[in-house]
Amino acid sequence: MAGRGAPRPSAVPPDPAAVAAILAGYPPAPRLWVAYSGGLDSHVLLHLLAGLAAGLPAPLAAVHVHHGLSPRADEWEAHCAGVCAGLGVPLRLLRVDARPAPGQSPEAAAREARYRALAELLAGDELLLTAQHLDDQAETLLLQQLRGGGLRGMAGMPRLRRLGGGWLGRPLLGFSRASLAAYARGHALAWVEDESNSDTGFDRNYLRQEVLPRLRVRWPAVAQSLGRSAGHCAEALELLEALAAEDLSRAGGGEPGGSLAVAELGALPPARQRNLLRHWIAARGAPLPPGPRLESLRRQCLEAGTDRAPRIAWGGVEVRRHRGRLHLLGALAAPPAEGLPWRLDGDLGLPAGLGRLSLEPASGRGLAERSLAGAAAEVRFRVGGERCQPAGRAGRHTLKQLFQEAGVPPWLRERTPLLYLDGRLAAVGGHWVCAPFAAAPGEAGRVLRWEPGPGAGGAGSIVEKWPIW
């Protein structure tokens, strides 16, 4: 064991047989993709796999993401094309807009754009291989510690995880940066250097260039030690995930829409409540809230009076409590103020992700064909005071009363499309047909269907946020 003052462990180049054994442990895939930036690490991975190509379980290809952020981006793309041609590896080129949004770091913007493009590339359980290594894992763990990250962050980068329709694998996590450099020198590889890697204004670069070299002087095996710590955290996280999955099944997180029962959540000790909330949020593909926001979510949703409707928002998502259940929603859209004409001869896509309307033929149900024939149809949204006499009921009722009786969540009420025929309210989303327009028994009709989209808080309302690694 290396101790204080001991020499740094020797940099032994990765053994192709060891890499092949790692690949054999991954799920079967119809294609292997190498994320190839043109840098040293990804060039080593590509070269290793190209040498193993005859024995690989699936065809090999490379993918290069052109971010357009560096003045040398075109040069890097040309370099990658030349290397792949020399190795006989097909190359797919992807171009993304990686400009950061206001308040977003350039690192985060580039990373999210890259992973989004790569996720869209993968299909049918294809496997994307990236070249993160042991030193990258150590940097990730230190960054998470310095940011006060939880166990999920402390577990570091997983060796395998889902990405889009496929998998993301990291076969080099057990090898150091020095060992990859030794392999590159031994095979006379040529690679490109990203000038941004020397900018210590970026946290990861600062750790790489200023902090870890000093730590290695005293603790030469610091990367290996941090890698082991990440493994221990990953194992503990696996146990907590199993416990949270049990709690989630009891709390009804598997119900349509993925809502969570407040009573079941409140029956757990506070630590298990937080564990369940983190699991529930992550399982829906949403970013985890910071610790203080998670605690605010827990307390407000459990302690607020029954006449209150708590809403806790972070990172483009929010949690709302309604009728004893918690609902996790993506960014909700404001419904359009102007009416939307509809010719009724096909589906109508609603703006701002509010969903889609369709009419399905029926007999004795829905809107009467005679009401639709020749009518000027328009879709509007609530402004207040609307009334409807639902077919089969006596008297006209306000939409507010009807929504409350039916238990329609508040965020869906103002985003529910209203169908007007010749200026009169005829149907309310997929809920009610107003009596004057309803099909009589045996009469030809059309049933109005509304599929709420992400902007309305319907199914699929959570937009996946890529992990920080």
Instruction: Please check if 39 is assigned to a binding site.
Output: yes
For residue 106, what are the CA distances in angstroms to 2, 117, 148, 156, 396? 38, 17, 21, 21, 56
Q: Which residues pair with 361 in a beta bridge?
A: 446
Looking up tokens 């009709």, which residue turns up? 445
Tell me how far the alpha carbon of residue 234 is from its chain's centroid. Answer: 20
Kindly report the number of other CB atoms within 10 A of residue 413's CB atom: 18
The DSSP element (H or E) to which 111 belongs, if any, is helix 106-121
Q: Tokens for 43?
A: 């060039």
Query: Annotated binding residue at 198?
Result: no
Instruction: Give me the phi and psi of 73, to 5 degrees please.
Output: -60, -40
Q: What share of the chain is helix, strand, coil (3-state, %, to 5)?
A: 40, 20, 40
- Beta-carbon neighbour count of residue 368 at 10 Å? 21
Pairing mode, if any, of strands 32-35 and 418-421?
unpaired
- 201 DSSP 8-state letter: T
38 is in an annotated binding site: yes
> 160, 120 in Cβ contact below 8 A?
no
What are the helix (H) ranges across 287-379? 291-303, 369-372
**Does 40 carry a binding-site annotation?**
yes
| Binding annotation | 37-42
* Binding-site residue set for ATP: 37-42
